[in-house]
Chain A
Amino acid sequence: MCEGEKYERSANKGPIIGGPLSLIDTEGQIVTEKNLIGNWVLLYFGYTSSPDVGPAEVRKMANTIDILESRQNIKVLPVFVTIDPQRDTPSHLRTYIREFDSRIVGLTGPVAAIRQIAQEYRVFFKKIDEQGDDYLVDTSHNMYLINPNMEVERSFGVEYSTDELAEAITKEIKKSKITNSQN
């Protein structure tokens, strides 16, 4: 894609968010955007030490993936990127995610790598209420729907229920002319 085309798209649809990534999954393997291309992806930025919103959002993501697959025959790859890489190590992330749905890909990495992807997706995150090693992370808990070309289609906030999210994703996918290798 040449430079001119890139600018054209951003003039119509706003700033381009998203970009390449290079992180570690829960098995300790490197995952890049090459591993995601070809799939519709539902990307969530969160952290396991979230008292209430985090667990609810991950539960929502798991249920939405279920609904899409069973009712719409649509396969979407759920991905959880932690914005608390210091505490969310691969093994801890694996244990946490497994309690919800082992299909969710958990990604972590060095702080610099997480900062980079958060910046690409314009995700705000900040440590608050620090008491020694204990802290919360202030963040928007947004989810991003990414098409098989690794382009961000849209984002969803915590106000979306499971059913609303499934419906909105179905609509976006059916509207899009891009189909992934699974659908």
Chain B
Amino acid sequence: MALEAYSSQAADSVHSDVLSEARIACYKARDAFYACLEKESDKKPTESASVGLLYPAECKKNREAYVNQCRPTWVKHFDRQYCAKKRVQRLLDDNESRRGV
């Protein structure tokens, strides 16, 4: 029966990179990177992150630490979230200049 076979064959390994300690380290590195983006927002974004997100060279070290600490799919997910948040902020801030459009 499929269930018993599954139970006996399932690996004993654990993916530690999604457990609590790894998650917290990932979030910390992520927040440090995005904080850098905010801090250096006046610099020209020349480096490419993911999903079209660009960042200034000043944040390269933070980016490397972030990418090393988190799974690639997680990095993509958070980058996408950050871009969406920025887009909404831009729309809200730009309200005056788009009047009548």
Question: What residues of chain A have their CB less than 8 Å away from a CB belonging to chain B?
Answer: 22-24, 28-30, 48-49, 51-52, 55, 87, 89-92, 95-96, 99, 108-110, 112-113, 129, 131, 134-136
Contacts and interface: CB of A to CB of B under 8 A. Distances in A.
A121 to B, nearest CB: 19
Interface string B77-96: 11000000000000000000
B10 A136 contact: no
Contacts of A28: 7-8, 10
A146 to B, nearest CB: 21
B101 interface: no
Nearest to B11: A89
B7 A48 contact: no
B76 to A, nearest CB: 6
Contacts of B15: 48-49, 87, 92
A99 B74 contact: no
Contacts of B12: 89, 91
Given A28-B10, A131-B73, 8 more contacts: A30-B3, A51-B70, A90-B7, A99-B20, A110-B3, A110-B5, A113-B3, A113-B6
Nearest to A88: B15
A129 B19 CA distance: 20
Of B4, B7, B8, B19, chain A has the most CB atoms within 10 Å of the CB of B7
A131 B72 contact: yes
A129 B77 contact: yes
